[in-house]
Amino acid sequence: MKAEKAATPIRRASIGARRNPASQAAILAAARAVLAEDGYAGFSIDAVSRRAGAGKPTIYRWWKSRADLLMEVYAAEKARIRAVPTGDLGRDLTEHTKELWAFWWGTPSGRTFRALLAEAQSDPDALAALREKFLPERLLDVRGLFAAAAARGDIPTEEIEARLALYIGFNWFYVLTDQLEAGQAAIPVAMRLIAASSRS
């Protein structure tokens, strides 16, 4: 994703801090494997270090915490899902939500995402990273759907934040209560309300 590339200061980093693509990929693959096998409970920099055959200092040089590493693993997986506006915000949101839920449901990513949100409740650094980097990057596509609808005049620009919050919260409610199957029926209704062309 563009935002991720822009956020990786490869050029400006010192040689020591520069990411070696091969070991970086090995560490991310090890992190994914640890998550898939042991879930978040068994996920630690120690476990990833053993699995990757990489020293902990190497891992910590690139990711400053377990949450940081988790966020990058999640981001790489999530990049598979893209949302492109078709001209109908309600339909676009419905399709994107179904894709997102299938992704959460069918991969360890749902549990990873829940773990990240949980981690952010007790670790201020994780919360700051979630709010200021992770969420803005992950939500670029969805924000684009709302921006396109506003550009078409379908929704007021000044309501994008509130509608986006409704969208995010709706998904969080179902994933955090582990009700992604039962919640399917609510998706079209909720997305229609979020996309409604109301002006007060």
Q: Which is nearer to a copy of itself, 52 or 155 (CB)?
A: 155
# residues near a copy of itself by CB under 8 A? 43
For a copy of itself, which residue of 35, 40, 97, 141 counts as binding (CB under 8 A)?
A: 40
- Contact between 8 and a copy of itself by CB under 8 A: the answer reads no
CB neighbours (10 Å) of residue 82?
12
Residue 190 and residue 165 in contact, taking contact as beta carbons nearer than 8 Å: no
* Distance of closest approach, residue 165 Cβ to a copy of itself, in angstroms: 5
- Contact between 120 and a copy of itself by CB under 8 A: the answer reads yes
Rg of the chain's alpha carbons, rounded to an integer? 18
- Contact between 171 and a copy of itself by CB under 8 A: the answer reads yes
- Contact between 150 and a copy of itself by CB under 8 A: the answer reads no
* Distance of closest approach, residue 68 Cβ to a copy of itself, in angstroms: 17
Q: Which stretch binds a copy of itself (CB under 8 A): 6-14, 49-57, 69-77, 118-126?
A: 118-126
Which ranges constitute the DSSP H helices of the chain? 2-7, 21-38, 45-52, 56-62, 66-78, 89-106, 109-122, 124-129, 135-138, 140-151, 160-176, 187-195
Residue 89 and residue 146 in contact, taking contact as beta carbons nearer than 8 Å: yes
For a copy of itself, which residue of 10, 13, 36, 165 counts as binding (CB under 8 A)?
A: 165
Residue with tokens 């399709």: 95
DSSP string, 102-123: HHHHHSTHHHHHHHHHHHHHH-
Residue 91 and residue 136 in contact, taking contact as beta carbons nearer than 8 Å: no
* Distance of closest approach, residue 28 Cβ to a copy of itself, in angstroms: 22
Q: Please report, as ranges, the residues that interact with a copy of itself according to CB under 8 A.
A: 40-41, 114-115, 117-122, 127, 130-131, 135, 159, 161-163, 165-166, 168-174, 176-179, 183, 185-187, 189-190, 192-194, 196, 198, 200
